A and B are shown apart, each in its own frame.
Chain A
Amino acid sequence: MIKPVGKEYFHLLTDKLHQIANRPLKIMEVCGTHTMAIGKAGIREILPLEVELVSGPGCPVCVTADADIDTFMRLAEDERVILATYGDMMRIPGTKGSLAELRAQGADVRVVYSALEVIAFARSEPDREIVFLGIGFETTAPATAHAVVVAEREDLTNFSIYNLHKTVPEALRALLEDDKTDIDGFILPGHVSVIIGEVPYAFIAKEYGAVGAIAGFEPPEIMAAILKLVKNINASTPAISNLYRKVVRPEGNMAAKRLLEEIFVPSDAEWRGLGIIPESGLALREGYERFDATRKFNLEHRSVKISPGCRCGEILKGIIRPHECPLFSGRCTPERPVGPCMVSSEGTCAAYYLYHGKDTWRRLF
């Protein structure tokens, strides 16, 4: 048994939070890893009733738009193509089934753990077209960028990426712009912040008067972040606090940032439920367009609706809880997911299904 570090500290923070929480507040944990950690540690159950913790759009699989799903499914069906991607993508339902089902029918879809594995396929199978389904936020985008650098250096003409990479700060701006969300503060993603640092979040406080705290993933770290947010709200001090200084530097990881800038340029991107968010995507920069699968295969984006009735969008914005979606736990379960939020191991709906029960949202105890 690994003994928990800081259990007493955790309860001290919780007690303090109970003392100072004096009005209804809505705090969003942006990141899917935080959502899982919060569920697993039962944190929602012991918060003061005034503090509502809602889950945000920080799970890359969850925010993948139907049009993108439809497009990469068609790519997988192309006989010339080997489609390589991370495991989480395999079970997203498309109009003709998931990638896992397409693979069972003969499509060459491969699960990889890193973008460099994909480069290895491109080297060893020069007669095939290798397409990497690049997905993730600022955490995984540098790995994709590195793969592009290697492909460029080795002049691998059979390698391309279908780019689903997105950036977090612009999505937070979109949430703050949305009148329906009324979020008072954000628990900001620890891993993304390792790459981008503190600065890109400054607008949250400066322009919107909201608060944010960069947090680690241990329960005391999460509780400390909530306490800090409530303190700053009470004191009317809009600020971005970095409570994860052991790994997050104010300027972020300069090498990774330089790599991202070298390969990508900000572009508009479609987010599931949030629509097109300006400058929230990462397009290949001029000079690297030949690695863009959309161009290479002349892929057209069709407007499709794969899962009617799925309310992922409102869930991702923290407007409703998963239990308020009519499909939740009935037609949509982790075994037979309808929407991507139920697919990913870090998806909001999957986390609620796993840790809060299938019936209705309620406090258990």
Chain B
Amino acid sequence: MIEKIRLAHGSGGEMMASLVAEVFYASLGGNIKDANDSAILDLPSGKVAFTTDSFVIDPLFFPGGDIGKLAFCGTINDLAAAGAQPIAVSASFIIEEGTDINDLKHIAASMGTVSHRTGIPVVAGDTKVVDRGNADKVFITTSGIGVIPEGVDYHPRNIQEGDKIITSGTIGDHGYCITAMREGISIQSSVISDCQPLHELVASLTPLASEVRTARDATRGGVGMVLNEWAQQSGKGIIIFEDMLPIKEEVEGGCALLGLEPIYLANEGKMLFAVAPHKASEALILLKAHPTGENTAVIGEVVGGRPQVVMETRWGTRRLVPTPSGEILPRIC
């Protein structure tokens, strides 16, 4: 029989202690003996970045990852987008009564795997159990803290006319993978989520200092969302070239079938950069040298005019790329 989470697992008693030990300490490290109400960290000098994010993805498990890996990488990537090198992460779990403990173990284990691989510890955590129907299986909130190297200042206000827009790889993979699963076309699908940590990739650009104007991971709302935010925040126009966008053929074909646009699909392992034009080729070489950046490509540039995003289509025409609206896919991360 599969063991299920009961309300007693969240009540603070013995059952909770054993759940924490068997599921969380086992995968994420730590032990009850050393536990305290706060983690105490030694931070190197420099500016500190601090971020938090909640994850409610449905389904919990998908090709290329699960909610545990996603919650860890998502927070790492938010730190990375600020140019920070992550120091530590916290993870808080809201669990629905009736959830399989095995599922929870898998989720904690995959979070632990990325934590060990990256050497970024999960230093604090919490679990709450709610009645059946008051949550959907597992929700996770992660927070992260990181330190920004000297000379790095990533913010859209730094964007200047002529800057090149760079993506660290193919776009739309995560959003397409989840949508394909939900629409039941996953059987033939070979596209897996791109869920991966990007802090090392971003760190490879540290030598370029402020020639890298800004970075952002293109999650919900995708590349289209990020570029519109940049246009608004910088007051500059951005043009992207449809035939320079790295999009997997299956993602493109599947999107046509489902009435979706890859530039609005969520990514969980792709970073967008705005880089000074004379450093763009250097940035490209540095990014491509990293395994998570091998499909890095320049996709557009910053131009004058209205603060809006325009696409030069593959037909040589131009059209607006507005901020995504309407049915943005729910619970994609």
- Contacts from A to B (Cβ < 8 Å): 1-4, 7, 10-11, 39-43, 45-46, 219, 333-335, 345, 350, 353-358, 364-365
Contact = CB atoms under 8 A, between A and B. Distances in A.
B213 to A, nearest CB: 25
B243 A1 contact: yes
Interface in B279-333: 308, 310-311, 313-320, 322, 325-327
Contacts of B243: 1, 3-4
A335 B325 contact: yes
Contacts of B316: 7, 10-11
27 contacts: A1-B243, A1-B245, A1-B246, A1-B249, A1-B252, A2-B253, A4-B315, A7-B316, A11-B316, A40-B319, A41-B319, A42-B313, A45-B317, A219-B315, A333-B325, A334-B325, A334-B326, A334-B327, A335-B325, A345-B259, A353-B322, A354-B322, A355-B320, A355-B322, A357-B320, A357-B322, A358-B322
Interface string B169-204: 000000000000000000000000000000000000
Nearest to A8: B316
Contacts of A41: 313, 315, 317, 319
Contacts of A356: 319-320
A357 B237 CA distance: 14
B315 A42 contact: yes
B133 to A, nearest CB: 14
B48 to A, nearest CB: 36
Contacts of A40: 313, 319
A350 B326 contact: yes
B247 interface: yes
B179 to A, nearest CB: 13
Given A356-B320, A357-B320, A364-B320, A1 B315 contact: no
A7 B314 contact: yes
Contacts of B311: 42
A364 B239 CA distance: 13
Contacts of B249: 1-2
Contact of A46 (B308, B317, B326): B317
Interface of B: 243, 245-247, 249, 252-253, 259, 308, 310-311, 313-320, 322, 325-327
Contact of A45 (B259, B318, B325): B318
A354 B328 CA distance: 13
Contacts of A42: 311, 313, 315, 317-319
A358 B311 CA distance: 16
A345 B314 CA distance: 22
Contacts of B322: 353-355, 357-358
A195 to B, nearest CB: 21
A45 B319 contact: yes
A165 to B, nearest CB: 22
Given A333-B325, A335-B325, A364-B310, A2 B319 contact: no
Contacts of B310: 364-365
A11 B315 CA distance: 8
Given A1-B243, A1-B247, A345-B259, A364 B315 contact: no
B319 A10 contact: no
A365 B317 CA distance: 10
A364 B317 contact: no
Nearest to A358: B322
Contacts of B319: 39-42, 45, 355-356, 364
A365 B316 CA distance: 13
A345 B260 CA distance: 10
Contacts of A7: 314-316
B326 A2 contact: no
A114 to B, nearest CB: 13
Contacts of A219: 315, 317
Given A1-B246, A11-B316, A364-B310, 19 more contacts: A1-B247, A1-B249, A2-B252, A7-B315, A7-B316, A10-B315, A40-B319, A41-B313, A42-B315, A42-B318, A42-B319, A45-B318, A45-B319, A46-B317, A335-B326, A353-B322, A354-B322, A356-B319, A364-B320
A4 B317 contact: no
Contacts of A2: 249, 252-253
A361 to B, nearest CB: 12
A345 B258 CA distance: 11
A249 B87 CA distance: 67
Nearest to B244: A1
A48 to B, nearest CB: 14
Contacts of A355: 319-320, 322
Contacts of B313: 40-42
B298 to A, nearest CB: 14
Contacts of A45: 317-319
A354 B259 CA distance: 13
B33 to A, nearest CB: 48
Nearest to A40: B319
A62 B318 CA distance: 27
Contacts of B245: 1
Contact of B325 (A46, A345, A353): A353
Contacts of A3: 243, 314
B244 to A, nearest CB: 8
A356 B308 CA distance: 12
Nearest to B256: A2
B158 to A, nearest CB: 26
Contacts of A43: 317
A219 B315 CA distance: 8
Contacts of B327: 334
A1 B313 CA distance: 12
A339 B315 CA distance: 32
Contacts of A364: 310, 318-320
B77 to A, nearest CB: 25
A365 B325 CA distance: 23
A302 to B, nearest CB: 30
